[in-house]
Amino acid sequence: MNQTLSAFGDIEARYTLLKSVAGNAAKLGMDYYTRRENLTVIHKENDLQDVVSVADKAVEDYIRCELSKAFPSDGFLGEEGGALDLEARYLWVIDPIDGTSCFVNGLHSWCVSIGLMVDGLPVLGAIADPNHGELFHACRGAGAFVNDTVIRVHAAQHVREGLTGVGTTYRRGKESFLPFLQGLLDEGGMFIRNGSAALMISYVAAGRLIGYYETNLKSWDCLAGLVVLQEAGGIASDFLRNNGLLDGNSLLVACPGVYEQLSDLVGPSLDTDC
């Protein structure tokens, strides 16, 4: 362990366990996915866009159980299970199924996302995509990987040199979405949306996308991906600003060559609480 990582305590054991738990959680999610026609699906707060299934709850329960058995003093923040001991030095941030709407509708754009914060700093991240057999993972200061292969961000210097991921919801911030798309198209860029923030951040880290902009995310959507992105050489806006851990924020991530250009297209919304 290098000196930088030693400052985070027993991080190697947590990293090893994280990769195993994320992979097994994805397998559990896939078991539910193959039986999705029989799942009970609930619309959160009577909103048709935000849904939760039995699978979300079961996968998060599994993740919390496995991590807490090994590290009982760690805290948790999960999309389904809420917060437990937010003041703990080690805080796991969990999205059991990122892309639930895709999951319940039979689309392959979903994954398991687990991040770890140590002393308020994102340090570990794992994003498991069972549909494509990929595990994106990173430890702060130790590089970023998909399975066992090192990944790096794209070398693009202009938005027309690749694809930009985008996303929005009904939440505050959506007013910035169409102007961003218009500006991107005016610059000769092109966009995609796949329904999973964690996967699109991972794709930026792997050089598949040159950037990704979302008008509003929760921390469990992106915390793990931000570690992978940083270790792959990418740049991200300050998601944790203005209590982003609990309240969420807009997010821009990109390779260094296009970050400033995309930031200019987003405008001042990156500097305010969404």
Model pLDDT for residues 247-273, shown as the tens digit of each residue: 999 999 999 999 999 999 998 767 654
Amino acid at 99: G
pTM check: above 0.85:
yes
- Lookup result for tokens 């999951």: 103
Compute the distance between CA of residue 185 and CA of residue 243 in angstroms, rounded to an integer.
32
Give the chain's residues under pLDDT 70.
1-7, 40-52, 269, 271-274
Model pLDDT for residues 159-176, shown as the tens digit of each residue: 999 999 999 988 787 889
- Say if CB 99 and CB 83 are below 8 A apart: no
Q: Is 95 annotated as a binding residue?
A: yes
Return phi, psi of residue 78, to 5°: -125, 155
- Looking at residue 8, its pLDDT comes to 75
Q: Is 98 annotated as a binding residue?
A: yes
Amino acid at 152: R
| Domains by residue range for the chain, with CATH | 3-150 (3.30.540.10), 159-271 (3.40.190.80)
**Ramachandran bin of 203, using left for φ above 0, alpha for ψ from -120 to 50, beta for the remaining angles:** alpha
Q: Which pair of tokens denotes residue 117?
A: 């914060």
Q: Is 79 annotated as a binding residue?
A: yes
Model pLDDT for residues 182-212, shown as the tens digit of each residue: 999 999 999 999 999 999 999 999 999 999 9
Query: What is the number of alpha carbons within 13 Å of residue 91 lying toward its C-beta?
Result: 22
CA dihedral 122, 126, 129, 130 (to 10 degrees): -150
